[in-house]
């Protein structure tokens, strides 16, 4: 993994990693391992709700070279049918998270009338996750479980 002079992932785009690679790169000390344990706990609980593959976009100070990040920022792309049928469980799971700042995006298939909503949400998060508050460019992590 490459980082720029600001400690941001470079190149400035999504970087697909496997879980073990992600843990190796970003679990460098006890504090980061603690935050990872919270993320992995969430992933286990999520997989009890949905059987589909789930894509995670991970951003924020956790995926920088910052020494003590506060939390892990995560966008979870969930099949719209699962989201609709399990909305209460997904909302409760979101509310129960500590140290994982979590957002869901409903994924509609390309032939669905609401597919444009998925595209818009994805573009919005892509822009948000590739720039910081000072409009500096950065990359982020993509995981699939």
Condensed to tens digits (0 to 9), the pLDDT of residues 124-140 reads 999 999 999 999 999 99
Residues in CB range of 118: below 8 A, 6 or more apart: 80, 105, 106, 107, 108
State the pTM of this model. 0.95
At residue 145, the pLDDT reads 93
Interatomic CA distance for residues 60 and 69, integer angstroms: 8
Rounded to an integer, the average pLDDT of 112-130 is 98
Answer whether residue 51 shows pLDDT above 90.
Answer: no
Q: How far apart, in whole angstroms, are the C-alpha atoms of residue 130 and residue 134?
A: 11
């Amino acid at each position: 993994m490459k980082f720029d002079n600001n400690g941001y992932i470079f190149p400035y785009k999504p970087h697909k990693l496997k879980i073990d690679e992600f843990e190796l790169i970003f679990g460098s000390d006890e504090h980061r391992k603690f935050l990872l344990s919270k993320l992995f706990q969430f992933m286990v609980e999520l997989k009890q709700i949905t059987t589909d593959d789930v894509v995670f976009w991970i951003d924020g100070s956790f995926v920088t070279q910052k020494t003590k990040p506060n939390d892990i920022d995560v966008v979870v792309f969930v099949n719209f049918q699962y989201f609709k049928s399990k909305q209460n469980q997904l909302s409760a799971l979101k509310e129960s998270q500590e140290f994982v700042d979590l957002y869901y995006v409903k994924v509609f298939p390309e032939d669905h009338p609401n597919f444009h909503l998925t595209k818009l949400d994805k573009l919005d998060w892509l822009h948000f996750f590739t720039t910081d508050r000072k409009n500096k460019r950065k990359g982020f992590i993509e995981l699939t479980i």
